[in-house]
């Protein structure tokens, strides 16, 4: 086994375990993307005259098989390999011999890592946006089924004005769709092709076609100049996590309100048994654990965002090994919000609002603002005067 940076010298096991960290585990999700990027790079080398047709065919066939075998669970990245890039190239060399050794021409592990990560991030942002949309759709369905039920609207956790299930659900649905739009907009920084920047300063002597890999991998443009590529590390990740944090916050607020409404004191919401858990001590208890956990996990992406910003802050230009640490935070933050969005899309249709209980909470005080508006409409007095008259009448 040869690592991409290996100079044939022994490596201390403790050093290997510390420097590799969890990359060999994290990289399982990047294998398919590195296979795609490697195939595109090989095609570019062939088009530029650096790889024969036979070598290209052998590499393409082998890369496809390596990716398929990994997807089927036939192999996983080992600690000794450190990452998916070494794991894939070792298998290429083993299967294709000299052709496998030719594929690294004109690239560094730095741009190779970024290419796979950006391809993954583009897909991950779209997946998360889709999950946010599905949760919004679930709220639309709830509004269609129960939207006509009146309920109090609150400010400062005090009853304020009449509202309805449709208004309540519609507000959350609109914000979730706004979050989805933000996630899709965050693809911009991930949509630039890093291949060809190599170790951060381009590829001397060789005339490589960065436009070729840009088009074949579906990037919008090459990332230029090459010195900007390493300086950008963490920015696409931070942008994605920021938008994910906003989604997590909205999902957390939705979960928090369902927890509140499900209390005996409110009683606005009835949760079916499949959405609750029991108590180990109290026979009467049914607890909204899943919504409590969704509320608690709403900060995961925000925490991951701060971790990414802390890693990249004040780093000089060029590549630094610190940047490896961004990957774990990115995956953890995105995964947590995705799990919560999918949970809410599943759980919201099962929520039932208690119409009589909510109607009983709609006392006449909640219509005072409406009375003031009607007074303005009917008599033409300024709103402040109408406000004072309604208040005096109520206090009398």
**Which phi and psi angles does 164 have, rounded to 5°?**
-155, 165
Contact 190, 125 (CB under 8 A): yes
Task: Find the helix packing angle between 326-347 and 109-146, rounded to 10°.
Answer: 20
C-alpha gyration radius of the chain: 28
Q: Which ranges of 262-320 would DSSP assign to H, the alpha helix?
A: 289-296, 300-312
Counting every residue written for the chain, the total comes to 396
137 burial level (CB within 10 Å; 0-12, 13-18, 19+): middle
Q: Which fold, 13-105?
A: Fumarase C; Chain B, domain 1 (1.10.275)
Among 279, 317, 320, 379, the active-site one is 279
Q: Report how far residue 135's alpha carbon sits from residue 346's, in angstroms, rounded to the nearest whole number.
A: 8
Going residue by residue through the chain (396 aa), what tens digit of pLDDT does each one get? 554 445 555 666 767 666 666 878 889 999 999 999 999 999 999 999 999 999 999 999 999 999 999 999 999 998 888 889 999 999 999 999 999 999 999 999 999 999 999 999 999 999 999 999 999 999 999 999 999 999 999 999 999 999 999 999 999 999 999 999 999 999 999 999 999 999 999 999 998 999 999 999 999 999 999 999 999 999 999 999 999 999 999 999 999 999 999 999 999 999 999 988 877 787 777 889 999 999 999 999 999 999 999 999 999 999 998 898 999 999 999 999 999 999 999 999 999 999 999 999 999 899 999 999 999 999 999 999 999 999 888 776
Element (H, E) at 157: none
Is 279 one of the catalytic residues? yes
Q: What is the DSSP secondary-structure string of 16-49?
A: HHHHHTTHHHHGGGGHHHHHHHHHHHHHHHHHTT
Domain boundaries, the chain: 13-105, 110-360, 364-395
Peptide bond preceding 391 in cis form (omega within 30 of 0): no
* pTM for the full predicted model: 0.92
Q: Report how far residue 11's alpha carbon sits from residue 16's, in angstroms, rounded to the nearest whole number.
A: 7
CATH code for the structural domain at 110-360: 1.20.200.10
**Which phi and psi angles does 326 have, rounded to 5°?**
-65, -35
């Amino acid at each position: 086994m040869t690592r991409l940076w290996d100079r044939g010298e022994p490596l201390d096991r403790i050093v290997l375990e510390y420097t590799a960290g969890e990359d060999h585990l994290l990289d399982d999700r990047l294998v398919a993307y590195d296979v795609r990027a490697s195939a595109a790079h090989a095609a570019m080398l062939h088009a530029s005259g650096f790889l024969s047709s036979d070598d290209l065919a052998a590499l393409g066939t082998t890369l496809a098989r390596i990716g398929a075998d990994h997807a089927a669970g036939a192999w996983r990245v080992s600690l000794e390999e450190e990452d998916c890039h070494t794991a894939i190239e070792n298998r290429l060399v083993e299967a294709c011999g000299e052709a496998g050794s030719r594929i690294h021409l004109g690239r560094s592990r730095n741009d190779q890592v970024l290419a796979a990560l950006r391809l993954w991030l583009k897909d991950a942002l779209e997946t998360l946006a889709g999950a946010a949309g599905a949760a919004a759709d679930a709220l639309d369905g709830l509004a269609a089924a129960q939207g006509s039920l009146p309920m109090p609207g609150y400010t400062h956790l005090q009853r304020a004005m009449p509202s309805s299930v449709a208004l309540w659900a519609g507000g959350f649905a609109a914000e979730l769709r706004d979050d989805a739009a933000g996630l899709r907009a965050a693809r911009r920084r991930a949509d630039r092709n890093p291949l060809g920047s190599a170790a951060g300063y381009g590829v001397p002597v060789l005339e490589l076609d960065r436009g070729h890999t840009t088009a074949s991998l579906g990037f919008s443009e090459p990332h230029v100049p090459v010195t900007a590529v390493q300086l950008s590390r963490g920015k696409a990740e931070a942008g994605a996590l920021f938008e994910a944090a906003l989604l997590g916050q909205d999902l957390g607020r939705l979960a928090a309100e369902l927890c509140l409404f499900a209390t005996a004191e409110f009683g606005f919401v009835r949760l079916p048994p499949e959405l609750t858990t029991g108590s180990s001590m109290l026979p009467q208890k049914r607890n909204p654990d899943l919504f409590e956990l969704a509320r608690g996990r709403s900060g995961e992406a925000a925490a991951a965002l701060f971790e990414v910003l802390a890693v990249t802050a004040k780093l000089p230009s060029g590549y630094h090994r610190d940047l490896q640490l961004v990957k774990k935070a990115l995956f953890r933050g995105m995964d947590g919000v995705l799990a919560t969005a999918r949970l809410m899309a599943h759980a919201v249709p099962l929520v039932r609002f208690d119409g009589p209980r909510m109607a009983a909470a709609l006392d006449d005080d909640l219509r005072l603002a409406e009375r003031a508006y009607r007074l303005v409409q009917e008599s033409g007095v300024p709103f402040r005067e109408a406000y004072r008259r309604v208040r005096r009448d109520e206090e009398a």
